């Protein structure tokens, strides 16, 4: 008989009574979506929390990616990473652009700046990196390449809520960054997401684009889409923002416990904190070297499952291995040796604010055995 199941994550839920009180305000106002007061309040509160000047809320983390490419009128080829959730590449595809996969850097699982230039062609217009697991990409080098070739940079920062380098948000970098507020994320609005931009003009344009392109009652300025966050989720988001720091600190404590116990286990590698970075501990990936560990990643993964520990193989298979993308020349495994190896080694251990010390010890015991 397996003990209670431990899932890879668990949603941060606001206090229900407080939620109901604010819901009453929404009900009373009868204004339930389309840039309502709570939508505006959440945008303001997030700007302050994230230390960014402008943000636009969305219904999920996929639509801001699609919209960013639209807003910047990206065409042709977009350089990206195969080591992410499929939404990153899907957004490029939905914009009629060709994704070009570049291998990753094993030190942060982000796109490898050393390999970007070789993938640039006359058709390249943008780079879409991912701060994978919330670990910041090498943003300075990526920007230097973008500047040299006149490319746009759109960061998929779905995992990077609250991540800072030397006191500055990672969301400051690139032309735009996008966030996911899905239930499985450090900060969630059930479903939700956002785009961060650097000037008022762009914020206005994005607000039009997420509202069908409307720039007034009778004027449509672009073929926009509908991806506005509603008032119920905005209320939920305002309440969750009050407790997200505490949740991140609990995750931090889990990371400390994992690291102390797993350091020195042959064949198990994991990330340490980076100097000067405020991490959000959104995921705790371990990488299994089968030869040294004496067991393959999948053997460990299924052994964990059998014992009620539901880690996840984020991100396996690589996006480039899915049937839609497999035929692209850049998807060849020979082009992506590091990503291919890491996708075969990774297990994200359970990581969330509700894990008890006993839960963590149960997981550690299984991995150490
Ligand atoms: N870019 C990147 C880099 C991303 O990682 C993502 C999403 C996006 C873009 C797109 O953002 P969104 O459009 O999704 O906002 C999950 C999420 O659905 C997805 O948001 C996330 N990345 C991806 C990495 O993971 P699944 O299929 O693994 O989720 P699921 O349903 O298997 O849930 C995992 C575990 O979480 C469950 O075993 C238990 C727990 N859970 C989940 C839900 C939904 C709960 O306890 N309660 C819940 O309500 O995709």
Residue 351 CA, chain-centre distance (Å), reads 15
> Per-residue pLDDT averaged across 147-171, rounded?
98
> Per-residue pLDDT averaged across 142-170, rounded?
98
Band of residue 369 on the pLDDT scale cut at 50, 70, 90: confident
Q: Is 13 in the pocket of ligand 1 (CB under 6 A)?
A: no
Tens of pLDDT, residues 263-308: 999 999 999 999 999 999 999 999 999 999 999 999 999 999 999 9
What predicted TM-score, i.e. pTM, was given to this entire model?
0.98
Q: Is 182 in the pocket of ligand 1 (CB under 6 A)?
A: yes
Nearest atom within ligand 1 for CA of residue 60: 15
Q: Is 353 in the pocket of ligand 1 (CB under 6 A)?
A: no
> Per-residue pLDDT averaged across 311-316, rounded?
98
Range list of β-strands (E), 63-192: 77-80, 98-101, 124-128, 152-156, 164-165, 168-169, 176-180
> Per-residue pLDDT averaged across 202-211, rounded?
98
> Per-residue pLDDT averaged across 21-25, rounded?
98
Give the C-alpha distances (Å, rounded to integers) separating 276 from 164, 165, 331: 8, 6, 34
């Amino acid at each position: 008989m397996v003990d209670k199941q431990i899932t890879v994550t668990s949603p941060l839920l606001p206090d229900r009574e407080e939620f109901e009180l604010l819901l009453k305000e929404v009900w009373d106002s009868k204004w339930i979506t389309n840039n309502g007061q709570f939508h505006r309040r959440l945008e303001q509160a997030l700007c302050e929390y994230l230390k960014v000047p402008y943000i636009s809320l969305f219904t999920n983390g996929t639509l801001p990616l699609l919209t960013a490419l639209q807003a910047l009128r990206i065409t042709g080829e977009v350089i990206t990473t195969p080591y992410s959730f499929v939404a990153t590449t899907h957004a490029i595809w939905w914009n009629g652009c060709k994704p070009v996969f570049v291998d990753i850097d094993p030190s942060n699982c982000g796109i490898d700046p050393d390999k970007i230039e070789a993938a640039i062609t006359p058709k390249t217009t943008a780079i879409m990196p991912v701060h994978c697991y919330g670990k910041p990409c090498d943003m300075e080098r990526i920007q230097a390449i973008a500047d040299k070739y006149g490319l746009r940079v759109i960061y998929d920062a779905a995992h990077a809520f609250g991540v800072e380098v030397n006191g500055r948000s990672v969301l400051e970098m690139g032309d735009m960054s996008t966030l996911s507020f899905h239930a499985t994320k450090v900060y969630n609005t059930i479903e939700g997401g956002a785009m961060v931009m650097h000037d008022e003009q762009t914020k206005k344009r994005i607000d039009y684009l997420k509202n069908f392109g409307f720039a007034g009652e009778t004027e449509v300025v672009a073929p926009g889409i509908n991806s506005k966050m509603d008032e119920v989720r905005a209320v939920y988001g305002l309440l969750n923002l009050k407790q997200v720091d505490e949740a991140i600190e609990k995750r931090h404590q889990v990371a400390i416990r994992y690291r102390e116990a797993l350091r020195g286990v042959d064949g198990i590698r994991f990330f340490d904190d980076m100097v000067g970075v405020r991490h959000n501990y959104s995921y705790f990936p371990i990488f299994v070297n089968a030869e040294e560990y004496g067991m393959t990643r999948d053997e460990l993964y299924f052994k964990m499952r059998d014992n009620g520990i539901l880690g996840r193989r984020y991100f396996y298979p690589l996006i480039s291995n899915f049937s839609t993308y497999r035929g692209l020349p850049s998807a060849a495994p020979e082009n992506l040796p590091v990503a291919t190896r890491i996708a075969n080694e990774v297990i994200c251990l359970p990581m969330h604010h509700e894990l008890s010390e006993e839960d963590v010890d149960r997981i550690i015991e299984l991995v150490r055995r």
